[in-house]
Structure 1
Amino acid sequence: MDSIKLKNLLKERLKSEDRSFKFDSKQDTLRIENVKTAKGITVALPPVIANYENVKDKAIDEIVYYVEEALNVMGEEHSMEGKEKSIFPVIRSTSFPSESEEGNPFLTDEHTAETRVYYALDLGSTYRLIDQKMIARESWNPDRIREIAKFNVRSLSTELKSDTVAGNTFYFLNTNDGYDASRILNDSWLRELEAEMNGTMTIALPHQDVIIIGDIQNETGYDVLAQMAMSFFASGHVPITALSFLYDEGSLEPIFILGKNKKRNE
């Protein structure tokens, strides 16, 4: 599978009279727009290709579903009133747009040098990022949204799967509810995990649908962590960061791993 083949396949699967497609070969992206509203979504093709190598046609089905759902909610008015239990924080890369295509700023908070917190209204099979226009229209206090979202994220499942490699234990949370990476904002859960660690605790957020907790006990563990984070980052529909973090009593510090050596971002 290459970008041209993927572009053609997506155009075939997503074709509609009210949609247009624009392929950017330099950026390796495909833009799908509603011709009536000029609103749309841009798909980065390399992560989909990487995922296709692992799960074949399932990767195509997933991205088609994701695009369809995103396009269906665009342009619709959504209210937060009475839907407090459906407001959640979402983690994105700092390179993710901070405003909508219309120039409407999203509600955001700084998180780390690699990540930023956004807030979303869950719509069932997808969600809508909360922006300043939506907040003003409904006269909500932004701090109220933040408090509700962080309360709700603490109610999400934290069941982990684990794997041990060369004496290091890695824990994975992958529910595909759209908020797996958001669990990093559940600090009480992280502190409980930290108390159970035998070595150094690390956290990786390669894409929105996974969080990886590492109990690192030797140098090999850092190499495994780096390879794992990069692999997940390349295959995620919404990549966040290939870097991992050291976790120490609520503090997150990016770590740069080169071969057998680990370097902290002092």
Structure 2
Amino acid sequence: MKMDSIKMKKELEKRLTNSNRSFSFDKKKDELRIENKQTGKGITISLPGIIAKWELQKEKAIDEVVYYVEEGLQAMEGDIQLSGQEKNIFPVIRSTSFPSESEEGVPFLFDEHTAETRIYYALDLGTTYRLIDRKLIEKEGWVPERIKETALFNVRSLSTEMKSDEVAGNTYYFLNKNDGYDASRILNEPFIKKMEQKIEGSMAVAVPHQDVLIIADIKNETGYDILAELTMSFFASGRVPITALSFVYENGSFEPIFILGKNRKK
């Protein structure tokens, strides 16, 4: 069966239908919006990306979208509070092209991180999370610094156990706990410094999507090419893609590297 936007739209509407929801399809943008009829809050999903995943994963791709839309809509409908939830506030890494405000026009709380990435802040709700916006901060009477400090403290409590693989004399470490905060471990400074001590060659880091962190011990030029292929592969298959570029970690900062065949540019 050949999948197209109309077929995908119908399939998603069938799976997500609910008397309290409305659907609207923007043919020009190829986007489907699912809204709560009472609140007007909703989620807009881009269909081409889901179709591309469907080509590879079939039903699993649709199952994932349905799950995240259901969880996201439930999170929007609930009354969210920060007080008493300090231990559930975490940073999340997103690409610089990620929206800076909610669909209602409320700015998210975020910080610039690298030329490719930003740090957003989220309240963990168990099976999903909600990005923290300025409206929620004002409602709770918090200051942004409190959120940021709490999130960075909490990310240090997450497991940093890694698997490793050696290819062509280079070592690649993978952190993949699937808790939504794998890429966020890049902000755990003591952990990154500890890994730096372990590295014998050059240290490179990649966050292709939210559910993986790659740290590479690069000892030859081939190592950069392998890292580029790995990062691109993860980026293409990730549920929440971040960046296909890798970073060299030097003097406490992350500098993007552009790997062009055998050449690389910082």
Q: Say yes or no: TM over 0.5.
A: yes
Unaligned runs of 5+ in 1: none
Distance 1:164 1:9, change over 3 A: farther
Per-residue CA deviation, residues 58-85 of structure 1 (Å, 9 max, x unaligned), is 3322221111100111143211111110
In the alignment, which residue of structure 2 is the partner of 1:32?
Answer: 34
- 1:146–1:42: structure 2 CA closer, same or farther, 3 Å change rule? same
What does residue 62 of structure 2 align with?
A: 60
CA distance 1:163–1:93, shift in 2 (3 Å): same
C-alpha distance in structure 2 between counterparts of 1:248 and 1:26, whole Å: 44
Cα pair distance change 1:230/1:205, threshold 3 Å: same
Structure 2 residue aligned with 1:101:
103
Q: Verify: 1:180 aligned to 2:182, yes or no.
A: yes
C-alpha distance in structure 2 between counterparts of 1:115 and 1:145, whole Å: 19
- Shift of the 231–49 alpha-carbon distance from structure 1 to 2, 3 Å rule, reads farther
- 1:173–1:180 Cα contact (<8 Å) kept: yes
Equivalent residue for 1:155? 157
How many Å separate the matches in 1 of 2:73 and 2:209?
21
* Residue 24 of structure 1, CA deviation: 4.2
Tell me the distance in 2 between the aligned counterparts of 1:3 and 1:35: 27
Query: Hey, what does 2:75 align to over in structure 1?
Result: 73
Change (3 A) 1:262 1:106: same
Aligned with residue 141 of structure 1, among 114, 138, 143 = 143
> CA 1:52–1:163 in 2, change beyond 3 Å: closer, same or farther?
farther
Verify the 8 A CA contact 1:121 1:129 in the aligned structure 2.
yes
Question: 2:10 matched to which residue of 1?
Answer: 8
Report the identity percentage.
Answer: 66
**1:9-51 deviations in Å (ceiling 9; x for gaps):** 2222112233233444554443222233222112234443444
Contact 1:47 1:236 survives alignment (8 Å)? no
Counterpart in the other structure of 1:112: 114
Residue 156 of structure 2 aligns with an amino acid whose one-letter code is: R
Describe the SS at the equivalent of 2:205.
strand
Q: Residue in 1 aligned with 2:50?
A: 48
Q: 1:219 aligns with which of 218, 221, 244?
A: 221
Q: Distance in 2 between matches of 1:232 and 1:22?
A: 31
1:216 and 1:147 map into 2 onto residues whose CA distance is 32
Corresponding residue SS for 2:147 = helix
2:22 is paired with a residue of what secondary structure?
strand
Distance 1:166 1:50 in 2: 32
The Cα shift of 1:142 comes to 1.4
CA shift in 2, pair 1:6/1:259, >3 Å: farther
Amino acid at match of 1:141: V
Match of 2:81, SS state, is coil
Counterpart for residue 263 of structure 2: 261
Q: Is the 1:46–1:234 contact (alpha carbons within 8 Å) kept by the matching residues of 2?
A: no
CA contact (8 A) 2:41 2:104 kept: no
- CA 1:2–1:83 in 2, change beyond 3 Å: closer, same or farther? same
Matched pairs, number: 264
Q: CA deviation at 1:250?
A: 1.7
Contact kept, 8 Å, 2:86 with 2:150, in 1: the verdict is yes
1:86-121 CA distance string (max 9 Å, x none): 111111111111111222111111111111111111
Structure 1 residues 6 and 202: CA distance shift in structure 2, 3 A: farther
| Contact 1:119–1:146, Cα closer than 8 Å, also in 2 | yes
Q: CA RMSD in A?
A: 1.8
Distance apart, 1:183 and its partner CA: 0.5
1:47/1:237 contact within 8 Å kept: no
Secondary structure (helix, strand or coil) at the match of 2:229 reads: helix
Q: How far is 1:57 from its partner?
A: 2.7
Contact 2:208 / 2:244 at 8 angstroms: preserved in 1?
yes
